[in-house]
Amino acid sequence: MKRPRQSRPSSTHLPQHHDLPTNIINTTKMKLSSLLLPAFLLAGPSLAEHTSNWAVLVCTSRFWFNYRHLANVLSIYRTVKRLGIPDSQIILMLPDDMACNPRNAFPGTVYSNADRAVDLYGDNIEVDYRGYEVTVENFIRLLTDRVGEEMPRSKRLLTDDRSNILVYMTGHGGNEFLKFQDAEEIGAWDLADAFEQMWEKRRYHEILFMIDTCQANTMYSKLYSPNIIATGSSELDQSSYSHHADNDIGVAVIDRYTYYNLEFLESEVKDTSSKKTVGDLFDSYTYEKIHSHAGVRYDLFKGGAEEARRRLVTDFFGNVQNVEVDSGKGETNASFEEEMVRLSRTIAELHTRAEEQEAAERNATASAAKTGKKQQQPRKIQRVAKPLTDDNWWTKKIVGATALAGCAALWGLGSYLEGVV
Amino acid sequence: MSAQPLPSNDNDVSIATIAPKQEAPTSSKKLPPPEKPSDVRRRSHVILSFWLIVLLLGLPIWWKTTTIYRADLPLEDMLEWADGKACRPVFPLRISIQATSLQDQEAQNLLRLTQHALDDLNDFAGHHLRLQMGDEKQDSADNGSALTIRLTPGEGTTATLDPYEPILDITYPQNTIPSPTASSSALATYIASQLRTTFAEEQATISYLLSTDSMPSEHRPLGLSPETAEALAKRTTRSLKYAPTYHLTFSLFTSGPLPSSWDIETAIEEYMKPVLDVLSPIHNFTIDTQVQLYASPGVQNEVLNKEDLSSFINAAEWPLSPSIGGAPTINFIVFVGNQTIASPSQEAAPTSHSWLIPQWGTVFLLSLPGDTTHVAAATLKQPLLTFTSHLLSLTGTPESGSLPLRLSTLARIRSADLLLRASSTLGSLARLAMALPSISIPSSVADGVTKTMSHLRLACDNLGGTEGLAHARIAEAEAERAFFEKSMVGQLYFPDEHKIAVYLPLLGPVAVPLVMGLINEIKAWRKRRRERAEKGAEKKGE
C-alpha cells in the first residue's frame, strides 16, 4: 500500500516564496519595437529574514519513570524563554505532571540536574497541552492548524512564511515511530506529511527539527519538505541514554543528548547577541558524550549543509527581531503627524456626511418602495414545522424505513419458523 | 475435511448414533456410511450461503465503512488560479479630468494626447490608467474614478494634490493648450508624468506583489530596480498580514511605582481615532489598554544601542499577548523609565524615543519627572502620534501621496494581495489533494472551493473598484476555511504491518474454515463430475 510519493512534482510546484528578496526574477517587458530580452536573475544582497520565532516542544511519555522526558522538554522550554521567545509563541506539550506526582520527593518542582540548582517548574510556566490532550491527532492538528473555532489562540501555531520554528520532541521511539502516551504512535510518514502541509500553506520559513528518543534519526528520514534542518540523538538500532539519575528523586533526570545540547546553549549562547551557529552546535556532539551517534540532516535545506550550518543558534532558539529606530527628528515629525491626524479627521467627517446623505436618500427610496410593497407582505406563510437541514432527508427516511421493514421481516420469519417446528 | 480419513473412534460414535436408521455395512472393514445426496446438497448450500453473505454483504460493508470520502475538487481550475492563468490581475484606474475652463473640443484633444503620453510611459500592462472626461457635479467617489484632475488656468504649470480628496490640481498657462492638430503637447506630457509619479509607488508595490507570487513569467510586470525591490521587500516584511480585524493593545509599563494611571482614552480619541476612522473601510479595530507597574525590561542598560532594542521587550514577564478573540494583536507600548536610545552617530543628533518592531508594534520610551502619578493626554500626544504613523506602516499603507490616495491605494494593494493569497491557497489545497491520496475531503471543502472561485472571479473582474476588496476578502476567508477544514486530518498513513496486525486476528479464524470448506467442496464437485463421466463412458461401452 505504498503511496506513489515519488511521482509528486514537489520540486517544480513548490512556491519559493520565502527567499524572494534574494533573487527576484526580473523580466523586462519591452516595447513592441525592441527586442525581447531574456529573463535575467537579480541576486539581491538582502537576506530573506524571518520576523518571528516559534517553538513546539513536545514530550510524549507519561508516568513517573519517564521523569527525564518531561525534564528534557522543560529545560529546552526554559532555554528558549531565556533567549526571548514569548510564551505566546511557545507550544508546550506535557502529557504528565511530574511536579505533582505523589512519588516526587520535592513536590511542586522538576529538576533536570542532580544538583537541583534550577527548578524548571518554577513560576511563569505555561503548558499549552497537558495530560491526555497530548495525542498524535492534536499534534498534527497543531502543526497543520486544522483546529476548531473554539481553540484559543494560545494553543495554536500561528506561523506564517516569515516564521522560524523549533520543533523539539522527546519520548520513547523506535524505527520510524515515536510513541505517544503508551496508546498510539506517530510515524515518520505522518510527521513528514504534516511538515509538507505546513510548507504548502507557507506556514514556516525554516524549521529546526530536534528529536531525542531511541533510534531518533529514523524519525526524520522520511521528511521531504524544504528548509528543514533535522537532528536526532541516535541512529537506527541505537538507544538514546539518560545522563544521570538523582538518587533522592530516584529516577534519571535528563537524557544525554538533551543534556549536552543544553550545556552548549547555556555556556555558548548566553544571550540573543550570540553569534554561534547551528553548525557549532552540531559539531559539539560526540559519541563519547552522547553514547550514541547523533545525526544531522541538511539535504532538505536550500543551499545544503553549508548554508544550513551558517544559521545562528538564535535563529531557532531565540527571538531576534529587527527593529527600526525612528529618526528622532522630534518636532518636525510631530507636526507632520499632527497634520495627518487632522486630515483624517476631516476626511472621516466628509465620509460620514456623504454616508448620511446617502442613507437619507436610500431611506427615501426605501420608504417609497415600502408603500408599494405593503400589500404583498401578509402573504408570507409561516410553515408549522420544517427540518433544520434538508440535506439527506430522503436518504435518512429510506434508511429508517428499511430498518423497520427488516425488523418486521425478521420477526415474521421467526414466528413462521416457530410455527413450522 | 471430509476428504481426510476420520479417526476411528469418532467413526464409531457416528455409526453408533446413526446405526439404528441405517443398515449395517456388509464388509468387515468399517467405512463411513455413504452420504445421502440430500446431505451433500445441503452442505454445499450451507457453504455457498456463507460465501454469498461474505461477498454480498460483508465485503460491501467493509468497503463502505473503510473508504475515505473524497469530494470531487476542480483540481485543474484550482491549479490554474494558483498559476495565475485564470486571472490576469489588471487595475484599470479611471481618472477623470475636470476642465471647466476649456472647451469641449480642446479638452477632448488634451485628453487624447495625455492618454497617448501615458500609454507611452506605461510599461506595466496590469496597471493601466484610463482617462475620461469628468462631469463637474459628479463626485469622484460616485463615478468610480480613482483620481480627478482639476485643470485650471494659471500663471505657470504646477501640480498639487488636494489633501482632503483624491484630486490633483493642475494649473497651466493659457498658451499651452494644444491645438487640435498637434500630435504632442508639453502640457499633456506634463500631466502624464505627474500621474505617473503619483501612482509610481502603487505600481511598484503591485508589480512587486505579482512578481513574488507564482505568476508565470510572461505575466510578470516591469523590471523593478534592485533598490525599489529591496525597499518594497522591507515594507512587506514590516507590514502585518491582512486581517479584517486587528486588536490594538496599548500598554503603559513603568519601571517604578509611578505613574500609575494615564489618560489613554482621551489620547486615543484625540490622536488616533481619526486615522482608525479613515481605515475603517479596510480594517476593523478593537482596542484594549493596560498598566503595569514595576515592569523590568529585558535590557537594563541606561543607554540602549540598536542590538539592545530587539531584546528590550521582556516577553517572559510582560503580559503582552491577550488571547482574546481571533484577531492578530498590534502592540503599542509606552515605557516610562530613564533609559535612552543611543544615537547612531556620535554627534549631537536628536535622540529618538521610539522604535518599530516589524509585524509586532511599537515601543516608545517616555521620560517623566519622578513624581508624576498621572500621565495626561497632552503628554501622550507625541507617543500616540508616533503610534498612529506606525500603525499606518504596519498595515502596509503606502508612504507617498496624499492621504486619500494612500488609502485607496492601500485598498487596491490589499485586494491584489488577498487575491494572490486565496489563489495560492487553492493551489496548495489542490496539490495536497493530489499528493495525499488517503486524506479525506469532506463536501464542505468542495463547497468552499466553489465559493472561493466564484468570489475570486468577481474580485478579479473588479480589481480597480471597491467591490474588489470585498470579494477578495470573502474569497480569502473561504479558501482558508477550506484548507484548514477541521476534519481533514488524523493519521493519514498506516503501514502495511499495522493493517495486517489489525485484520489477521479478526479475519484469520473466520477465513480458515471458510476457505477450506470452499476448497473441499470444489474438490468433491470435481470428483463427482469425473465419476459421472466415467459412468457415462462405461454405459456407452456396454
Read off the pLDDT of each residue in A346-370 and give the average, rounded to a whole number.
73
> In this structure, is residue B494 part of a structural domain?
no
B252 and B382: one domain? yes
Please say which residue of B394, B423, B457 terminates a domain.
B394
Read off the pLDDT of each residue in B483-500 and give the average, rounded to a whole number.
76
Weakest-pLDDT range from A59-73, A176-190, B100-114: B100-114
* Burial tier of B477 (Cβ tally within 10 Å: 0-12, 13-18, 19+): middle
**Beta carbons of B266 and B260 less than 8 angstroms apart:** no
pLDDT at A328: 55
pLDDT at A46: 35
Mean pLDDT of chain B: 78
- Domain tally, chain B: 3
B273 and B328: one domain? yes
3-state secondary structure A268-329: HCCCCCCCCEHHHHHHCCCHHHHCCCCEEECCCCCCHHHHHHHCECHHHHCCCCCCEECCCC
pLDDT, tens digit (0-9, with 9 covering 90-100), for B153-178: 777 777 777 777 777 888 777 777 76
pLDDT band at A55 (very low <50, low <70, confident <90, very high): very high
B82 and B95: one domain? no
* Burial tier of B163 (Cβ tally within 10 Å: 0-12, 13-18, 19+): middle
Weakest-pLDDT range from A35-44, A156-165, A372-381: A35-44
Give me the helix-helix angle, B467-483 and B443-461, nearest 10°: 160
Q: Would you call B431 and A13 a contact, using CB atoms and an 8 Å cutoff?
A: yes
pLDDT at A409 over 90: yes
pLDDT at A372: 52
Q: Would you call B357 and A328 a contact, using CB atoms and an 8 Å cutoff?
A: no
User: Range of B264's domain?
Assistant: 246-344+351-394
Query: For residues A22 and A13, what is the distance between their CA atoms, to the nearest angstrom?
Result: 19
Mean pLDDT of chain A: 78
> In this structure, is residue B156 part of a structural domain?
yes
- Pick the most confident of B296-305, B351-360, B448-457: B448-457
Look at residues B120, B290, B138 and name the one whose alpha carbon lies nearest to residue B192.
Answer: B120
pLDDT at A366: 66
Report the alpha-carbon angle A186-A154-A278, nearest 5: 60
pLDDT at A175: 87
Query: Between A148, A273, A330, which is nearest B307 by CB?
Result: A273
> In this structure, is residue B284 part of a structural domain?
yes
Q: Would you call B492 and A193 a contact, using CB atoms and an 8 Å cutoff?
A: yes
Phi, psi of A254 (to 5 degrees): -160, 155
pLDDT at B349: 55
B128 has a chain A CB within 8 A of its CB: no
> In this structure, is residue B59 part of a structural domain?
no
CA distances (Å), origin A214, targets A135, A151, A174, A291: 19, 33, 6, 12
pLDDT at B468 over 60: yes
pLDDT at B352 over 60: yes
Query: Between A26, A84, A324, which is nearest B223 by CB?
Result: A26
pLDDT at B360: 84
Weakest-pLDDT range from A118-127, B12-21, B30-39: B12-21
pLDDT at B531 over 60: yes
pLDDT at A58: 94
Read off the pLDDT of each residue in A198-219 and give the average, rounded to a whole number.
91
pLDDT, tens digit (0-9, with 9 covering 90-100), for B42-91: 888 899 999 999 999 999 998 988 888 888 888 888 888 888 777 777 77
B374 and B415: one domain? no
Report the alpha-carbon angle B420-B425-B430, nearest 5: 125
Query: Between A28, A201, A343, which is nearest B163 by CB?
Result: A343
Read off the pLDDT of each residue in B233-261 and give the average, rounded to a whole number.
84
Read off the pLDDT of each residue in B193-207 and give the average, rounded to a whole number.
78
In terms of pLDDT, which residue wins out, A227 or B198? A227
B328 and B292: one domain? yes
CA–CA min distance B524, chain A (Å): 32
B388 and B259: one domain? yes
Interface ipTM: 0.76
Q: Would you call B385 and A141 a contact, using CB atoms and an 8 Å cutoff?
A: no
Reduce the DSSP state of residue B286 to 3 states and report it.
Answer: strand
Q: Between residues 179 and 238 of chain B, which touch chain A (CB distance below 8 Å)?
A: 211-214, 217-218, 220-224, 226, 229-230, 233-234, 237-238
The reported pTM is 0.76
Reduce the DSSP state of residue B323 to 3 states and report it.
Answer: coil
Domains of chain A: 52-317 (3.40.50.1460)
Q: Which of B330, B428, B434, B498 to mutate to test the interface with A (most CBs of A within 10 A)?
A: B428
pLDDT at B243: 84
Query: For residues B367 and B387, what is the distance between their CA atoms, to the nearest angstrom?
Result: 17
DSSP per-residue codes, A127-193: -SEEGGG--HHHHHHHHHT---TTS-GGGS----TTEEEEEEEES-EETTEEEETTTEEEEHHHHHH
pLDDT at A418 over 60: yes
pLDDT band at A72 (very low <50, low <70, confident <90, very high): very high
pLDDT at A349: 76
pLDDT at A48 over 70: no
B158 has a chain A CB within 8 A of its CB: no
pLDDT at A407 over 50: yes
Query: Between A5, A328, A348, which is nearest B278 by CB?
Result: A348
- Pick the most confident of A18-22, A63-67, B310-314: A63-67
Which CATH number is B192's domain given?
Answer: 3.40.50
Nearest CA in chain A to B121: A31
pLDDT, tens digit (0-9, with 9 covering 90-100), for A150-174: 888 888 898 888 889 999 999 999 8
Beta bridge partners of residue B222, listed in sequence order: none
B296 and B373: one domain? yes
B111 and B81: one domain? no
pLDDT, tens digit (0-9, with 9 covering 90-100), for A285-309: 999 888 999 889 999 988 888 888 8
pLDDT at A305: 87
pLDDT at B275 over 80: yes
B-chain residues within 8 Å CB-CB of A148? Answer: 486
Reduce the DSSP state of residue A207 to 3 states and report it.
Answer: strand
Report the alpha-carbon angle B34-B35-B39, nearest 5: 170
Strand A206-212 with A163-170, pairing:
parallel
CA distances (Å), origin A1, targets A389, B493, B498: 38, 10, 11
Question: How many other C-beta atoms lie within 10 A of the C-beta of residue B109?
Answer: 20
Reduce the DSSP state of residue A224 to 3 states and report it.
Answer: coil
Phi, psi of A170 (to 5 degrees): -150, 155
pLDDT band at A334 (very low <50, low <70, confident <90, very high): low
B372 and B420: one domain? no
> In this structure, is residue B429 part of a structural domain?
yes
Cell numbers found for residue A75:
529545560
pLDDT at B524: 87
Q: Which of A196, A218, A341 to mutate to test the interface with B (most CBs of B within 10 A)?
A: A341
Determine what percent of chain A falls in helix, strand and coil, rounding each to the nearest 5: 40, 15, 45
pLDDT at A133 over 50: yes
Q: What percent of chain A has pLDDT over 70?
A: 79
pLDDT at B143: 53
Could you give the dihedral angle defined by the CA atoms of residues B43, B46, B51 and B53, in that order, rounded to the nearest 10 degrees?
180
Catalytic residues of A: 172, 214
B81 and B115: one domain? no
B251 and B386: one domain? yes
**Beta carbons of B151 and B158 less than 8 angstroms apart:** no
Query: For residues A240 and A14, what is the distance between their CA atoms, to the nearest angstrom?
Result: 35
B260 and B201: one domain? no
pLDDT, tens digit (0-9, with 9 covering 90-100), for A236-286: 888 888 898 888 888 999 999 999 999 999 998 888 778 889 999 999 999
Q: Would you call B217 and A27 a contact, using CB atoms and an 8 Å cutoff?
A: yes
pLDDT at A57 over 90: yes
**Beta carbons of A210 and A203 less than 8 angstroms apart:** no
pLDDT at B3 over 60: no
B-chain residues within 8 Å CB-CB of A138? Answer: none
